[in-house]
Amino acid sequence: MEDIFYTKTEAGRREIKTRQHKMSMGLRSLLLVIDGQRSGEQLRAVIMGLRAPPDSLKQLRDLGLIERAGATPEGPVADTPPLSETANRYGILYALMTDVVRENLGVRGYFFQLKIERAEDAEALLGLMPDLRAALTKARGEDYAEQWEDHLRALVEA
């Protein structure tokens, strides 16, 4: 049986920048991961890891943020250029770290955001995690910081 692959629509790419739909963290994280390279089965595993609603893919489709890609297990269609795993990992880390800084650290997060901007690859972003976790612990508590870090690592490793 052929599995379904999904890709972001233009509206989905715009949503990542604008946050117009005020989605839950799990749903937004799933949208970040969708790249036309992961099968529906792989995305269902991500959904479970994120503790996102079981119908997350349907919700994103209904909002017009994702669509079925013309990809098969042999590879994506010609008009969907594949992202390298490294670039995809960097993009996910960058988006999630930027979001958590903006939402939780306020003005104190300005200098931390500059560090994120200067990071050139995923490994550099991961190197910022101990400092980010400490800042989140101070701002929101240990439970929040631990939950957020677990969420981030689950997405990056998916």
Going residue by residue through the chain (158 aa), what tens digit of pLDDT does each one get? 357 888 889 998 888 878 888 888 778 888 888 878 777 777 877 787 677 788 999 999 999 999 988 644 444 443 444 444 665 677 778 878 888 888 889 888 888 888 888 888 889 999 999 999 999 999 999 999 999 888 888 777 75
Please check whether residue 73 lies inside any domain of the structure: no
Q: Looking at the domain assignment, is residue 37 inside a domain?
A: yes
Entry pTM: 0.53
Task: Tell me the residue range of the domain where 121 lies.
Answer: 85-157
**Do the beta carbons of residue 103 and residue 144 sit within 8 Å?**
no
Secondary structure (H, E, C), 120-157: CCHHHHHHCHHHHHHHHHHHHCHHHHHHHHHHHHHHHH
Q: Do 119 and 150 reside in the same domain of the chain?
A: yes
Question: How would you label 75-102 residue by residue, b for 16+ Cβ within 10 Å and e otherwise?
Answer: ebeeebeeeeeeebbbbbbbbbbbbbbe
Q: Count CA within 13 A, CB hemisphere, residue 35.
A: 21
> What pLDDT shows up at residue 157?
73
Residues 105 and 148 in one domain: yes
Instruction: State the pLDDT at residue 78.
Output: 39
Q: How far apart are CA 156 and CA 75, in angstroms?
A: 21
Residue 59 and residue 91 in one domain: no
Radius of gyration of the chain (CA): 16
Longest dimension (CA), the chain: 51
Co-location of 91 and 141 in the same domain: yes
* C-alpha to C-alpha distance for 139 and 104, rounded to whole angstroms: 7
Split into its structural domains, the chain has a count of 2
Cα within 13 Å of Cα(48), Cβ side = 7
